[in-house]
Amino acid sequence: MAAKIVKTDAEWRQQLSDLAYKVTREHATERAFTHDDFPAGPATYSCVCCGAALFDAGTKFDAGCGWPSFYKPVSAAAVGESEDRSWFMKRTEVHCAACDAHLGHVFPDGPKPTGLRYCINGVALTRHPRAG
C-alpha cells in the first residue's frame, strides 16, 4: 500500500472549496439534493482531495436519498470504514484510504450484488469521463 497522503490544514484549505473542505476534512455533510448528481455515462469518480480512484459509474444507482450512491468501490482497498456515533445513531463512515477524506456513509440497504449503498457527498468526488 502506498504511503498516506498527509497535508497541513492550511494546504487542504488552499486546495479545496469551502464546502469540500468542511465535508472532507471536518466530516460535515452537504445538504441532500443540493449537489449535481453527475451526468450518466462511463466514468471514474475520484477523491477531490488526492485524486485516488474510488468508484466506477457502472456501480452508481439512484437511491433517491439525495446523494450519489454506489453499490461498491473500485477496490476494497480504495475506501476505509470507521464507526460514526454522531447524531445519536450508529453508522459506518466511509473515507478515502489514501488521504482519510470523509466521503459519506455505507448502509446495508443497497441493490444486488453487494446489498450495500455507499451514500457519498458529491462534493467529495471528481468525475472523470471515459470513452464508452
Cα torsion 122, 64, 102, 106: sign: negative
Q: Is 119 a catalytic residue?
A: yes
125's CB contacts (< 8 A; 6+ apart) are 38, 45, 46, 47, 48, 54, 55, 68, 103
Return the residue matching grid coordinates 455505507: 106
CA-CA distance, 129 to 122, in Å (whole number)? Answer: 15
Catalytic residue among 47, 49, 99, 119: 119
Active-site positions?
119
